[in-house]
Structure 1
């Protein structure tokens, strides 16, 4: 019979046609039922088919969290094509790269992005370009709606998700129908314990794997309501939680920090489950969020290459500071440089195997072989340790490890100390070049609104709490730290050269 991720929406629409599928946080009166959503998906799938898009073709999609993204995503899948989600902040040159590298047959974009989108499409030679409105207006409809989904193989591509490109050019991770279907089910059943009555705040970008699999796909698979937030604004998110009596919130650490700063005494008691991912959640922030939001705040872990969820804490089985345990059907181990498991408590690299692991990097066999071995183990580049109960604790990215005078320094450990300072809102610790030591430890910090702390004070605060070789000799207070589209702090955009210039010579 075959498999298609698109079946998740079709099944829910058949079972709950009158239930509300989508709302917009910035348009409270607008709502789209499952029946109407399914009709629009069928009609737009027909329009794509009329334009020559067929099963296996790759179709790029660039839009923020608006109904058109959801409709286009499921329409592409329905005809058996492959979704290539793209960040709406991309410029023409970057757009052309994604289109060319993916071999996109068509390109769908929000009308408001047309200037960069059209320029990028022209440079890449993509002729089929379709713009759509950001509201609830129907996308173009074909002469004949596509009433049912096209069967595909479990190992056929469903989504081509580009990595962030922290080193070199972004690579397209091929995620299969099996990858994505499993991740949606595990997210809905095991992590969210989702029901049709749930109202989920969709502020994580849908072009990103976390927002896609756990916010959108898991919610639509179980018949809940997804409240779309086109751009994260903490005030708007709080209004949506309160106004819609939201039950589930998913976010990255910086989102939780921003929410707690504006929440005040507003009633968010409707929340029953919150998930965090995308970056390490400082224990201090986790504790504050659990206390103020009044519900479990569960941290997990994954990559674009793992669809993305690979491990998570559960509401009845969790540890602060941990990424939990592997999800159902997935293995996770911590290994040394020879791929041998290390003892409990020792630091090694995380490897993952199971239904969540990508098929390959599109068109890059050497890059694929570098991270995916013959036994199916994916090397993540993340350093971690385990405890005796099987919980996993990420120490840092292997590439972020600081080697100071021959001693290993893990940035996350220092960041955790900085987050305990009452004036610190955000912190990033990184290594900078040093002639004598090889690398020196530097910290870049943003303060809470109205708070004050000098660089010397912050340096001393850390020095008093950790070993002498670890504390940051270089501390810089800035107005804000650079962030990516999901709110993740981007250390690669911090000017290391200027920090190195202020490092002491000893």
Structure 2
């Protein structure tokens, strides 16, 4: 069975300079040799094409496990160990996987594997794995690399197949079959603060590995540890989801703390042009927003530094232009392509799917101008119809987040017997006593139409969020309705 270029690249990098530093975690560096040792143990425990469920956490051992599964030509099935014990057990039972990997505690508390499942317990990088082996299944084609969970913003997370080719395009390049591995481990250090249970985390880790770039791994985004890593290693680029970017923006950090950073990339959720400009004004760093989806295997549009310098003032609020290999268009409800600047549904041909990709209809309302810049206007399936008037939650959220006291906001529809639905909002403040729901309602009166103003604004300590940093709209809706999702 031939080895996929992505699997080969991982193996080449792990052998490139075994003694060099690979990952800093909890203040300590581990080497490529340590990563490679555990990776090879995992690869020996699985068969090509096998589905391998991993209770993924942001640790070096879990990264080595992912690399081992991909080196073997098998499929990583992402399992989020933070969704609650009962849901995780039900998920694992329904998946009926031939291999499960997790820490001893995860396996004991959550997995409850059946006799036909091979169970692999991992500790730290220097500990031998413990294997309870079941009868091996017949190997299948090594096509799907990762079954990735969607963010679960509006409902239960779903699994999306990311093929080896899709990931290779994203992290190696469009001509990944001819690409060669780096000749040496990079001297620059990246920062990975996205969770491995989200495509952003897997993508960032694989990108660093394929570039032989050492990185700081954070268990989650936490302002002080992130800022310390930025000050110590001065990366040229950092990635921040909008919620994290707003935390940095409204913190006591100054330009000296982010010295060396030339660009901040931001995706996964909408970021207002006002926040992007405020960040640039404070730190002197451009914010390059992007548009991506798990189903596309990564990004399909985004800003470049060159475009930002030339077009930001005239295209502010856009998420940039189509990425290399991707095509974008806006269509009417019946699928008719629309002219520039007309609003409709966004369709995408992702570059990660190759030249035979078909148009994929999204639920995002959008417009594309004559220069190819894309604006995301909201989600058609989240529009709130209040007494016949359409309310786009992102418009209301952006208005709330423009208030100087607001750290973040989430807006959903709540059923109403008379009006059908009304918008309601959950708000997280920078200072708990800095504003009330009444204050915020008054603030919105000069910024929104009367029918767009939420019928209720709940000020909370923290907005429930998905692993990718998006507001968990299902949990927000449950807060207002009192009903289980």
Aligned counterpart, 1:117: 110
- CA contact 2:99–2:118 (8 Å) conserved in 1: yes
Q: CA 1:317/1:288 → structure 2, altered by over 3 Å: closer, same or farther?
A: same
Describe the shift of the 1:141–1:468 C-alpha distance in structure 2 as closer, same or farther (beyond 3 A).
Answer: closer
Give 3-state SS (helix, strand or coil) of 2:257's partner.
coil
Contact 1:432 1:499 in 2 (8 A): yes
2:233 counterpart residue number: 244
Counterpart position of 1:43: 41
Tell me the secondary structure at the aligned position of residue 38 of structure 1: helix
Q: 1:87: which partner in 2?
A: 80
Question: Aligned to 1:272, which of 242, 250, 262?
Answer: 262
- 1:66-115 Cα deviation digits (max 9, x unpaired): 11111111111111110112212133433344434444211111334344
**Judging changes above 3 Å, is the alpha-carbon distance between structure 1 residues 306 and 289 closer, same or farther for their aligned structure 2 residues?**
same
Equivalent in 270, 278, 281 of residue 288 of structure 1? 278
How far apart, CA to CA, are the structure 1 residues paired with 2:54 and 2:67?
11
Provide the residue aligned with 1:7 in structure 2: 8
TM-score normalised over the length of structure 1: 0.82
Aligned length: 458
Which position in structure 2 is the counterpart of 1:371? none
1:442 deviates by: 1.9
- Contact 2:154–2:473 under 8 Å retained in 1: no
* Shift in alpha-carbon separation, 1:97–1:311, aligned structure 2, 3 A: farther
> What's the secondary structure of 1:383's corresponding residue?
strand
8 Å contact from structure 2 (residues 155, 474) kept in 1 = no
Q: Please, which of 321, 328, 334 is the counterpart of residue 330 of structure 2?
A: 334
Tell me the SS of whatever aligns to 1:5: helix
* Matches of 1:23 and 1:437, distance apart in 2: 54
Contact 1:68 1:139 in 2 (8 A): no
1:158 paired with 2:145, answer yes
1:426, CA displacement in angstroms? 0.8
Q: Which runs of 5+ in 1 are unaligned?
A: 143-149, 190-194, 359-373, 502-506
Once the two structures are superposed, residues 222-259 of structure 1 have per-residue CA deviations (whole angstroms, 9 ceiling, x without a partner) of 12112111132211111222233333322211111223
Where do residues 155-194 of structure 1 align in structure 2 (5 Å cutoff)?
A: 156-165=143-152, 170-185=157-172
State the Cα distance separating 1:20 from its structure 2 match: 2.6
CA gap of 1:290–1:126, structure 2 versus 1, over 3 A, is: farther
What is the DSSP-based 3-state SS (H/G/I as helix, E as strand, rest coil) of the residue aligned with 1:464? coil
For residue 317 of structure 2, what is the aligned residue in structure 1? 321
Alignment of 1:351 onto 2:344: no
Q: Is the 8 A contact 1:333 1:341 kept in 2?
A: yes
Aligned CA-pair RMSD = 3.0
**Post-superposition shift, 1:157?**
0.9
Deviation at 1:163, TM superposition (A): 2.6
Contact 1:311 1:326 in 2 (8 A): yes
For the 8 Å contact 1:284–1:420, the answer to whether it is kept is yes
Shift of 1:30: 2.4
- Describe the SS at the equivalent of 2:408: strand
**Where in structure 2 are there 5+ consecutive unaligned residues?**
132-138, 177-184
In the other structure, the counterpart of 1:70 is 63
**CA 1:92/1:444 → structure 2, altered by over 3 Å: closer, same or farther?**
closer
Q: Tell me the alpha carbon deviations over residues 246-303 of structure 1, each in whole angstroms, 9 at most, x when there is no partner.
A: 3332221111122334443462213233221111112232223333443332111211
Q: 2:297 maps to which residue?
A: 307
Q: Say whether the 8 Å CA contact 2:77–2:148 is kept in structure 1.
A: yes
1:389 pairs with 2:376: no
In 1: Cα distance, 2:186 partner to 2:38 partner: 21
Query: Once the 2 structures are TM-superposed, how far is the Cα of residue 484 of structure 1 from its aligned partner?
Result: 1.3
Tell me how far 1:493 sits from its aligned partner. 0.8
Is the partner of 1:417 in helix, strand or coil?
A: helix
Where does residue 127 of structure 1 map in the other structure? 117
Q: Secondary structure at the match of 1:458?
A: helix
Q: Deviations over 1:203-236 (max 9, x none)?
A: 10012101111x1111111121121111322111
Task: Return the offset for 1:448.
Answer: 1.0
Tell me the CA shift for residue 128 of structure 1: 1.5
Write the distance in 2 (CA, Å) between the matches of 1:112 and 1:141: 13
SS, match of residue 380 in structure 1: strand
Aligned CA distance change for structure 1 residues 315 and 22 (closer, same or farther; 3 Å): same
Is contact 1:442-1:499 (8 Å) kept? no
- Is 2:48–2:72's contact at 8 Å kept on the other side of the alignment? yes
Structure 1 residues 471 and 91, CA, compared in 2 at 3 Å: closer, same or farther?
A: closer
Residues 1:222 and 2:211 are matched in the alignment: yes
- Structure 1: how far apart are the matches of 2:79 and 2:482? 35
Structure 1: distance between partners of 2:31 and 2:395? 45
Q: 1:476, 1:278 → 2: CA distance?
A: 24
What is the TM-score of this pair, normalised by structure 2? 0.86
